[in-house]
Amino acid sequence: MRQEFKGIGASRGTALGRARVRLPHALDIEEVHIDESQVEAEIAKMHDAITHVRSEMDALRGRLTGALVKEMGEFLDLHALILDDPELIESLDKLIRTRLIVADYALKLQRDKVTQIFSAMDDTYLRARVDDIDLVLSRILAALHRQTAKVDAKVGEILVAENVAPSELQELVDQGVIAIVTVMGSMLSHTAILARSMNLPLVVGAVGVLKTLNDGDTIVCDGGTGLVVVEPDAADLRAHRERDKAYLAEQKQLDRLRRVPTVTTDGVEVLLYANAESNADVTKARRLGATGIGLYRTEFLFLQSLELPTEEEQFRAYRDVVLGMAGRPVTIRTLDIGADKADRTGLALRNEPNPALGLRGVRLSMMRSGLLETQLRALLRASGYGPVRILVPMVSSREEVVQVKREIERLSTMLREEGHAVAAQIPLGAMIEVPAAAIALSTFIKLVDFVSIGTNDLVQYILAVDRNNEAIGNLFTPLHPAVLKLMHQVIRLAQKHGRKVSVCGEMAGDSTFTFLLLSLGLREFSLHPTTLLEIRQKIRTANIASLEEHGKRLLRATSTAGIERWMNQYGGMEINPA
């Protein structure tokens, strides 16, 4: 019988195949108590399972070859760090001792605690890291019962599972898996990132699918829309063939755009930068012809260990990104972390009542002794290997820009005296994601060389809507008159003073908003590499003169509904002067 599930499209592509169902190791773990005399044996059982998982991961690493050593090795390193976290092991031991419970239930309680902490995080990317912890705990749970996560799939099958580790993907593809559907996960998880780089269709968040499917059921899944259909009918099969045909044609067309300029029909050049957080992103950005890196996130360096990364560790990471882009500019954002995101390093305040309005971004960097200096020294040293731009997050006042600028000048002089090569000119930029920075931009625009609009936070702060709160999720929209007018104001002010301006939030990588952003005057986009060619294609159909003329009407809109009407009329179609 036909059934339909709606998940989240995490890696584009469509697939038709038989389902290979992998049930969770334990859907419901009961609270089972033990006697005090059994505690040490239960703890030893837990430690034995952890040791077993370490051996599994070492064996997997040994089987990696070629490019997979680099890409999947990074994920395995992260999972190994989680596995070796003394805080995790101590917490599990303590739960077994104090609660007198079995190891399985201790794992469940620890997982619930971690999920609660990560779910409260403001940053979507960092919130998605709970998947990595979940996958490690699932491996330990499987080892406790000596279960195996091996699928033994057949060619042409679609794996349906609770979650999938990034390190499993290549083995699954080698076995013939053509797509993956998961109940958990997010489009920003490591699994999703790697699936996109492998062009493997992936749907996440397909709630309820495991309760329905059986091995061998025929399913259709669309990694673009997130639609999953069980036992498709004739109409579904026709639709799948059309989507598959259109997708293949689109990919062939996009491949031709790798080396063509990003120029509109009336000859206006638009610069496409890439957002990046891994070496794989940097490699892909260069291969697809990105102008440079418009946003390199440094948070991951600070989340990999209990210890803060040293100047030398940061320098090597930043230098490698610069070398990877081979002369194209690399914009590296200073640490944008705070609240419960950095508890393991001891950087942030604990139990902040409102993390989104608390000690984060540049505020944290300037308050914690030596933190900003160490990172700036590493960035300045990396500038000797290629063009580096420094981007400061969560700016809210002129004073913050002045302080960072003085530090850069002081440290540049110091490093040159120490014999390090430091670029003569290192552009400094400010993230415009706090309304105060947008409104007061005129007070510090001459102190910076460029600005980058972070639409994710800007929308949240302008509308006073928590983007992670499902109860008011319908209120979170960039298509609000106040949002567009403030963005337009920032873009025009920056251009008036000869400063470059880009958008690096989710809007930049969504082709739905491409014409809207162009009509506001934007000429630089910074987006995830996976959408770069799609945005390039969209821009090459645009006519700037027509868009700016129609944009006057957009800025006169008095409601979200009015902006949506503009989008329906002008935002998704080719606009030419004729």
Write the CATH number of the domain with boundaries 26-146. Answer: 1.10.274.10
- Residue 48 pLDDT greater than 50, yes or no: yes
Under 8 Å between Cβ of 428 and 405 = yes
pLDDT at position 137 over 60:
yes
Q: Quick one: fold of 256-571?
A: TIM Barrel (3.20.20)
Q: In the Cβ-directed half-sphere of 255, how many Cα atoms lie within 13 Å?
A: 6
Among 101-105, 348-352, 359-363, 556-560, which is the least confidently predicted range? 348-352
Helix-, strand-, coil-residue percentages of the chain, each rounded to 5: 50, 15, 35
Tally of residues, the chain: 578
Q: What's the mean pLDDT in 551-568?
A: 91
Q: What is residue 149's predicted lDDT score, i.e. its pLDDT? A: 47
**What residues have CB less than 8 Å from 67, skipping those under 6 apart?**
none
Local structure of residue 346 (DSSP, 8 states): T
344 pLDDT exceeds 60? no
Residue 160 phi, psi (nearest 5): -120, 120
Spatial separation of the C-alpha atoms in residues 186 and 167, rounded to whole Å:
16
| Lowest-confidence segment of 67-76, 90-99, 347-356, 399-408 by average pLDDT | 67-76
Does pLDDT of 470 surpass 60? Answer: no
**What does the H/E/C string look like for 235-267?**
HHHHHHHHHHHHHHHHHHHHHCCCCCCCECCCC
User: For domain 1-23+147-255, which architecture applies?
Assistant: 3-Layer(bba) Sandwich (3.50)
Mind listing the pLDDT tens digit for each residue in 441-459? 999 999 999 999 999 889 9
pTM over 0.85: no
**Which residues belong to CATH 1.10.274.10 in the chain?**
26-146
209: Cβ–Cβ under 8 A, 6 or more apart, which residues? 5, 7, 160, 181, 183, 228, 230
Query: Where in the sequence of the chain do the CATH 3.50.30.10 domains occur?
Result: 1-23+147-255
Give percent above pLDDT 70 in the chain: 80
Q: Which range has the top average pLDDT, 67-71, 94-98, 101-105?
A: 94-98
Q: Could you tell me which residue, 118 or 26, shows the higher pLDDT? A: 118
Listed in order, the ranges of the chain carrying CATH 3.20.20.60 are 256-571
pLDDT digits (tens, 9 = 90+) for 473-516: 677 889 999 999 999 999 999 999 999 999 998 899 988 899 99
In this predicted structure, what is the pLDDT of residue 341? 47
Q: What is the mean pLDDT of residues 460-466?
A: 87
- Ranges assigned E (strand) in 287-352: 293-296, 330-333
Catalytic residues: 190, 504
Average pLDDT of the segment spanning 224-229 = 92
